Structure 1
Amino acid sequence: MPDDELGADGPGATAPYEFTHAGATMIVEEERSSGPHTFVLLHGLGMGRSVFIRLTARLASAGHVLAVDLPGYGEAPEPPKTLSMERAADHIAALLRARGTSPAVIVGHSMGSQIAAEVAVRHPELVRSIVLIAPTVDARARTWHQQALRLGRDLIRENPRVLFIGAREYLRSWPNFRRELKAVLAHRPEDTYPRVTVPALVMRGQKDPVAPREWCVDVARMIPNAELTEIPGHRHETMIKDAGPAAHRILGFLDRT
C-alpha cells in the first residue's frame, strides 16, 4: 500500500484497516459518535489496541476514537526497522493528517505515553491535550532488568483478565521484543516533557510499581501545564482491569481544559 494511504474501508470506517507511512504499517480501529472530541489511543510495550477495548467504549460517547496497533505490535506487521519513539510519533501525526481530524487528545499508556509526549512536541498543531497513563521510563530505572523486576512485581498481583490479555499480546510481539525494549529505553522522556505546550493529565494506578508515584510527580512537574491523578486500588494496566475510573478522569480533565 502506498505511503499515507488509508485502508479500503476509507474515512468513517469502523472495521480495522491498515495505514502505511514511510514504509511502516499500523492497524487502526475507529469508533465514532457525535461528541466533540477526537481521541488517539496508544498502547504500551508488547501490547496492542485490544487493551483499550473497554476504554474505547467509554470514550466513544464523547467523540471519535482511534485505537492503533503500532508497527510491529498486535496485528500490525513488523517494520523493516524498529521505530524509535520519535518516528512512531511521526506516524501518528501522519495518520491524523490523513484523517483530517480536529486536534486530538492523545492517550498513551506506558510506552505509549512516551510517544504521546513526542507527538505533542513534534506536531503541536495536531494535539489538543495529552493523557499519560502509567508513564515510562522512570529516569531512576532505565535498564532492562530494573524494568523487568518492576513489571514482574506488578504482574504477580494482577487480576486474571489483565494477565490473559497481556500474555496474548506479549506472545505476538515476543520475536521482536528485545529490539522494541531497546527503543523504549533509549528514549529520554524527561528531555521531552518540559517542551510540551498542551495541557497534560498524568495518571497512575495507586499500586503501580512500574510507574511509581515519585516518578509520576516528577513527570507532572516537568510538563508546564499538567496535573496528576491516581486511581485507588489499580496497578499498571489500570484501563484493562476497569476502564471506568480512567475514562471518568479523562473526560473530567477535558471539561476543565
Structure 2
Amino acid sequence: MKKLVIILTLFATCEFRMSDEDAREELNESVSIQFGDLEVGERNIHYAFSGNKRDFMIVFLHGSPGSWNAFIDFFKIDSLVKEFDVLAVDRPGFGNSGYGVSEPSLEKQAFLINEVLNQFPNKKKILIGHSLGGPIAARMAMDYPKAYHGMILVAPSIDPDMEEDQWYRSVIDTKFGAFFTPKEFEVSNSEILLLKDELELMEPLWYKIKIPTIVIHGSDDSLVPKENAAFAKRVLPDSMVNINMLEGVNHFIPWTHPQEILKAINQLTDGL
C-alpha cells in the first residue's frame, strides 16, 4: 500500500517529459547541449548530449517512468561537463523515444541504446542506471562487454526475488485501468509487469560483466529494496563491485544525493 501511495503522489505531481526547447531554456545557454534521434528498425531513440569527443563519456539511463531530463541537473555541473562528454537517453516508450509504445525486453532496450552509443567515438564509456535503468545498464555490460568500461547502479532493480506481485498493476493493464492512467505510467506498468521474468533471464549472464561497478543504494528505499545491493555483491566478483549504502536515504538519490554519483564517477574514471 505504501508503494501505491507513492505512485499516486507521482501521478499528481510529476511531469516527466520535457521538450528540447524547454530544456535549452532551463539550461539557459550555460551548457552547449545537442539533441538527436536514431532510427533503429521501427524504433526511435531520442537523446541529449553535451561534449567535445573527450576520452570519457558518461551515459545516464533513467528509471520507470522517466525521461532523459531526470538527469538535467547533471548537465549544469561545470566540473562534469567540462571534463567528460555527457549523454542521457529517453528509453523506449518514454520522452521522445516512441512515446507510449513500451519495450519490456531488457535485451532489446540494451540493443537500441547501444546502437545510439555506437555513434560516439569516445574511448571509454561509463554507464549510470537509476532504478529500472540499472538492469538495462547491466544488460548492456553483459551483451556488449568490450563497449563499456565502468558502471554505476543507483538503487537498481536487479534481483528477481525482490520483484513482488502488486495487485494494482493488473488493473492498470486493462482497458479500464489504462483509461485512467497517465501514459507514462501505463508504459512503466507494462515493463514492470514483466521485469521479474526479464531479470530471471539475466541471472545466468552476470558472469559476463568484467568492468568495475559501484552500487549506490539507500537504506530507506521503499520502492526498490536495499537487498538489491546484496544481490550485486553475490553475482559480481568482489574485485569488480563496491557497495555504497546510504543510511536513511530513499529511492531518489539522483536528486537528493547527486554528489554520491559524482564521487562514484570520479572513483571509476580515476582508475581507468
TM-score, normalising length from structure 2? 0.73
Partner of 1:16 in structure 2? 35
Q: What does 1:182-197 correspond to in 2, within 5 Å?
A: 182-188=193-199, 189-197=202-210
> 1:240 pairs with 255, 258, 261, which one?
255
Query: How far apart in 1 are the matches of 2:141 and 2:158?
Result: 17
Q: How many Å apart are 1:82 and its aligned residue?
A: 2.1
Partner of 2:130 in structure 1? 109
Partner of 1:68 in structure 2? 89
User: Measured at CA, do residues 64 and 173 of structure 1 come closer, stay the same or move farther in structure 2, by a change above 3 Å?
Assistant: same
Which amino acid is the alignment partner of residue 223 of structure 1?
L
User: Measured at CA, do residues 210 and 220 of structure 1 come closer, stay the same or move farther in structure 2, by a change above 3 Å?
Assistant: farther
Q: How many Å apart are 1:100 and its aligned residue?
A: 2.8
User: Measured at CA, do residues 80 and 133 of structure 1 come closer, stay the same or move farther in structure 2, by a change above 3 Å?
Assistant: closer
Query: How far apart in 1 are the matches of 2:168 and 2:154?
Result: 16
Q: What does 1:61-140 correspond to in 2, within 5 Å?
A: 61-78=82-99, 82-140=103-161
Q: How many Å apart are 1:92 and its aligned residue?
A: 1.7
Percent of counterpart pairs with the same letter? 21
User: Measured at CA, do residues 101 and 249 of structure 1 come closer, stay the same or move farther in structure 2, by a change above 3 Å?
Assistant: closer
The answer to whether the 8 A contact 2:150-2:268 is kept is no
CA deviations 1:100-132 (Å, max 9, x no partner) are: 332310111111111111111111111011111
- Compare 31-40 and 243-252 and name the one that shifted more: 31-40
Query: How far apart in 2 are the matches of 1:146 and 1:53?
Result: 33
Partner of 2:58 in structure 1? 39
Partner of 2:268 in structure 1? 253
Query: How far apart in 2 are the matches of 1:147 and 1:107?
Result: 29
> 1:209 pairs with 222, 225, 233, which one?
222
Q: How many Å apart are 1:68 and its aligned residue?
A: 0.5
The answer to whether the 8 A contact 1:42-1:112 is kept is yes
Partner of 2:163 in structure 1? 142
Partner of 1:57 in structure 2? 76
Q: Check if 1:226 corresponds to 2:237.
A: no
Q: Check if 1:176 corresponds to 2:200.
A: no
Larger Rg belongs to: 2
Q: Aligned-pair RMSD on alpha carbons?
A: 2.6
Query: How far apart in 1 are the matches of 2:100 and 2:267?
Result: 37
Which amino acid is the alignment partner of residue 230 of structure 1?
M
Q: Which runs of 5+ in 1 are unaligned?
A: 1-12, 149-169
- Compare 93-102 and 33-42 and name the one that shifted more: 33-42
CA deviations 1:179-222 (Å, max 9, x no partner) are: 22234232124333232111111111232233333330221231
Query: How far apart in 2 are the matches of 1:216 and 1:131?
Result: 12
Secondary structure, aligned partner of 1:221? helix
Partner of 1:27 in structure 2? 46
Secondary structure, aligned partner of 2:161? coil
Q: How many Å apart are 1:81 and its aligned residue?
A: 6.1
Which amino acid is the alignment partner of residue 24 of structure 1?
R
The answer to whether the 8 A contact 1:193-1:219 is kept is no
CA deviations 1:25-59 (Å, max 9, x no partner) are: 11100122685411111011111111111234343
Query: How far apart in 2 are the matches of 1:218 and 1:117?
Result: 13
TM-score, normalising length from structure 1? 0.77
Secondary structure, aligned partner of 1:230? strand
Q: How many Å apart are 1:83 and its aligned residue?
A: 4.3
- Compare 63-72 and 190-199 and name the one that shifted more: 190-199
The answer to whether the 8 A contact 1:129-1:199 is kept is yes
User: Measured at CA, do residues 208 and 198 of structure 1 come closer, stay the same or move farther in structure 2, by a change above 3 Å?
Assistant: same
Query: How far apart in 2 are the matches of 1:251 and 1:235?
Result: 23
